Structure 1
Amino acid sequence: MAANNTFVSYDGGIQQLEGEETKVIIPAVLGTISGLGIGGNVLVLVILIYVFASQGASEAYVMLANLSVTDLLILSVCAPARAFTYYMRSWTLGLLACRTTEWIQHSCLAVKAFTLLATSQARHDFSTHPEDHSNFRQKNVVITLVIIWTVALVFPVPDIVFSRLKEEGNISLCVTELTSQSQDAMRVFSKMLPLGIYVLPIILSAVCHIRTIFLIKPSTNEEVFLSRQYENSLMYLSVIAVNTLMMLPEWASWVWMRHSSGESCRPSAGLLIFAQVCVYLSSVFFPAIVLTMHVPLRESLSNLCSLLACRGSKHRLKTEGNGNEMRTMVMKVLDERGCGTTIERHSDACCQTLPELEHFWSERRNTTVTEDSDPLPWERLNQSNVEL
């Protein structure tokens, strides 16, 4: 390394790790976390799409969808790149990926922080003046999302500037390497980035939700309204708290790495790996918290499951053959009576049988052989004589 250059950190995961176990364990852990997180966030998006189709869009649901999309980007782009780097122990993804891997992850983390802040402020305004937010303002939501993504993509641009490929022997390394002229600018950037996308958004978001819980009172004595506001505020506070705890090792090690005076004062490889795992765990915890604490989404999930189960049973009855043609005709009769047209509103209607049809089937099943048609009458006669 040249005398006027200063090595700061690896980008996209630590390279040149020792030990065969790290080559298998770390990619397996990251892959498991990615799979769980992608499944959970896809489920949240499916429920939100169902809510949009049945009830219409709202500002809070659009922000939740934005958070899920951001977590999907982190888990499907950033986590696999790091898992592959840990497995290869060198950088083989090219210069473009080297320059953008840290930038993409920091941009997604900034989007999450700014979205939570915008949602917190919107909920605070709604609790204060609910009459002013009766209609969904699509234009304002679109403008807010554009501003969030623009600022989040521009803020960590120095990650692109300072990342580069470094050849060491016969392998390539993706590192952040500073020259003596850029060290002062990097010191400012290393303070502004965590302050702007970690500390300030968390503090402001928490303050908004705490004010909503303890200070905001509804204008009328609606207990349901007040209870729902408390539940939603507690849910968002839980998301903010988990995001804060999971991001703390990442930003602490990131600042520590860039302000350490010597090689011996830098954080260990174990701490850096733990910090990266915590970043991806936060994207796994988000759908778990939302689906357990957000009552409307939990009810929508239950309704969606009931609807799918009803449609699955109806399709299974239609595809059965042989002795079940009559049941298929029953389902057709149910459709003609209007069940098929109201399945979106009453998912259980198609799964019920009409009383007269149920009586018809019970009589068909419970038929017994009469005495006049008994094929062996003498056996019954002999049995009667023996008893006598």
Structure 2
Amino acid sequence: MTANSTFVSFDGGIQQLEGEDTNIIMPAILSTISGLGIGGNVLVLVVLIYVFASQSASEAIVMLANLSATDLMILALCAPARAVTYYKRTWTLGLLACRTTEWIQHSCLAVKAFTLLATSQARHNFSSHPEEQSNFRQKNVVITLMIIWTVALVFPVPDIIFSRLKEEGNISLCVSELTPQSQDAMRVFSKMLPLGIYVLPIILSAVCHIRTIFLIKPSSREESFLARQYENSLMYLSIITVNTLMMLPEWVSWVWMRHSSGESCKPSVGLLIFAQVCIYLSSTFFPAILLTMHVPLRESLSNLCSLLVCRRDKHRLKLEGNGNEMHTVVMRVLDERGCVTIIERHSDASCQTLPDLEHFWSERRNTTVTKDSDPLPWEQMNQSNLEL
């Protein structure tokens, strides 16, 4: 570090870890979490697109898609950068990545917090005035998302200003450092950032959902609508709770690093690593909570899987084409009243009926047989004799 600057923290992962196992264990943990989370969030986005295309659009679907896309960005951009840093034990991603790695992560965390707040407020307004919120207004949702992303990208801009790429011996370090002129600015920024994108959004979101639960009156709603409202409120509260608990180590260590008086008062390396892992676990838990507790999405996932299986079977039958094509089979069935019922069904060649089945029933219908030679005598029995 230069003589007129003060070291604050490493950006993009700790680059001078001790121990030979850390450069293998940490990348493996981050890669596993990232892979599971990316797969889960991609699945959620596919299901949400399917719901959006097959049903009427809603603000909740768009907001959930925004949450899933934000988690996907965190796992696809931020987690791999830290995995590479822990493996190399030096910064190898260049100056631009050094200046933007913390900014991108904090911006995505801000988008998640603001989106949960906007969704909570919208659901509270819907419960209070359902007649005014019945129609989906796409323009308003787009404007809301634009405001959320703009504020979230601008709020953590000081992360770019304080990040530096330093050379120490034969290795490069990406760090946050303060000059004497920036001490006061960092003191204000270190208080405003966690307060604005962590504390206030979480409190306001939780209050909105709790008020929504107590605002719903059974007498003014159908039972199915009431149950769905309770389920959605519990789902959002679960997401907020998991996000709150998983973000707590990160923001505690972040504030601690910037308000500690000396090197001995800084948080331990274990706490810093644990805080970073919790961030990516939060993005991995989101699709699991959503697909478990959101009943419409769970049903849509089941319908989508059934549709894909049917298409795969049709494609397989079309590719085989060796006498297994689908045929329409017409059957005449003689019921117990002596009437002929015509049934049409589709089957492949392996499931076709015998060619003389129709002839058999025609012969039985047009031929009078004696009681002793009737091959199916139970059809002539009275209904009372058939009862057990």
Q: What is the aligned partner in structure 2 of residue 314 from structure 1?
A: 314
Quickly say closer, same or farther: Cα 1:360–1:171, change in 2 above 3 A: closer
Task: Return structure 1 stretches of 4+ with deviation > 6 angstroms.
Answer: none
Shift in alpha-carbon separation, 1:170–1:128, aligned structure 2, 3 A:
same
Match of 1:328 among 319, 325, 330: 325
Q: CA deviation at 1:134?
A: 1.5
Matched, 1:291 2:287: no
Structure 1 residues 328 and 183, CA gap change in structure 2 (3 angstroms): same
| Aligned mates of 2:159, 2:61 — CA distance in 1 | 32
Asked whether the 8 Å contact 1:31–1:83 carries over to 2, the reply is yes
Distance 2:164 2:356 in 1: 78
Is the partner of 1:363 in helix, strand or coil? coil
- SS of residue matched to 2:52: helix
| Corresponding residue for residue 275 of structure 1 | 275
Q: Which residue of 1 aligns with 2:2?
A: 2
Cα-to-partner distance string for 1:100-140 (whole Å, 9 max, x where unaligned): 00000000000000000000000001111111112110110
Instruction: Tell me what 1:231 maps to.
Output: 231
Q: Which runs of 5+ in 1 are unaligned?
A: 335-352, 367-388
How has the CA–CA distance of structure 1 residues 361 and 247 changed in structure 2, closer, same or farther, with 3 Å as cutoff? Answer: same
- Matched ranges for 1:96-111 at <5 A: 96-111=96-111
- Supply the RMSD in Å over aligned alpha carbons: 1.9
Task: Provide closer, same or farther for how the CA distance between residues 194 and 357 of structure 1 changes in structure 2, counting only shifts above 3 A.
Answer: closer
Q: Determine the C-alpha separation between the residues in 2 that align with 1:196 and 1:139.
A: 26
User: Aligned-pair distance for 1:86?
Assistant: 0.5
User: Which residue does 1:217 correspond to in 2?
Assistant: 217
- Counterpart amino acid of residue 172 in structure 2: S
Q: State how far apart, in whole Å, the 2-side matches of 1:110 and 1:153 are.
A: 8
The answer for the alignment partner of 2:183 in structure 1 is 183
Contact 1:128-1:218 at 8 Å conserved across structures: no
| Structure 2 residue aligned with 1:361 | 352
- Contact 1:246 1:279 (8 Å CA) reproduced: yes
Q: Distance in 2 between matches of 1:328 and 1:61?
A: 40
Cα distance, 1:356 vs structure 2: 7.9
Name structure 2 gaps, 5 residues minimum.
330-342, 358-388
CA 1:125–1:320: 2 relative to 1, 3 Å:
same
The aligned counterpart of 1:138 is 138
Partner of 1:373: none
Determine whether 1:205 maps to 2:196. no
Aligned equivalents of 2:72, 2:232: Cα separation in 1: 23
**Does the 8 Å CA contact 1:98/1:163 hold for their aligned counterparts?**
yes
| Aligned partner letter, 2:170 | N
Residue 160 of structure 1 corresponds to: 160
Q: Distance between the aligned counterparts of 2:11 and 2:356, measured in 1?
A: 71
Structure 2 counterparts to residues 25-174 of structure 1, below 5 A: 25-174=25-174
Are 1:15 and 2:11 an aligned pair?
Answer: no
What is the one-letter code of the residue matched to 1:328?
A: E
Asked whether the 8 Å contact 1:127–1:218 carries over to 2, the reply is no
Percentage of identical aligned residues: 82
* Change in CA separation of 1:356 and 1:111 when aligned onto 2, cut-off 3 Å: closer
How far apart in 2 are the matches of 1:155 and 1:79? 21
Are the counterparts in 2 of residues 291 and 298 from structure 1 also a CA contact under 8 Å?
yes
Secondary structure of the 2:311 match is: helix
Q: How far apart, in 1, do the equivalents of 2:143 and 2:346 lie? A: 57
What is the match of residue 385 of structure 1?
A: none
Corresponding residue SS for 1:90: coil
Deviation at 1:2, TM superposition (A): 3.4
Change (3 A) 1:111 1:365: farther
2:161 alignment partner, SS class: helix
Cα distance in 2 for residues equivalent to 1:83 and 1:357: 54
Q: How far apart in 2 are the matches of 1:365 and 1:184?
A: 95
Distance 1:365 1:203 in 2: 75
- 1:5 deviates by 1.2
For residues 310 and 9 of structure 1, do their structure 2 counterparts lie closer, same or farther at Cα, with a shift above 3 Å needed?
A: same
Q: Which structure shows the higher helix fraction?
A: 1
- TM-score using structure 1 length: 0.85
Q: TM-score, normalised by structure 2?
A: 0.85
Match of 2:336 in 1: none
Structure 1 residues 142 and 360 mapped into 2: Cα distance closer, same or farther (>3 Å)?
A: closer
Whole-Å separation in 2 of the counterparts to 1:365 and 1:298: 47
Deviation of 1:217 (Å): 2.4
Q: 1:181 to 1:221 in 2, by over 3 A?
A: closer
Q: Distance in 1 between matches of 2:10 and 2:74?
A: 18
Q: Alignment length, in residue pairs?
A: 343
Q: Give SS of 1:134's match.
A: coil
Q: Deviations over 1:226-284 (max 9, x none)?
A: 11000000000000000000000000000000000100110111110000000000000
CA contact (8 A) 2:10 2:175 kept: yes
* Structure 1 residue 197 displacement after superposition: 0.1
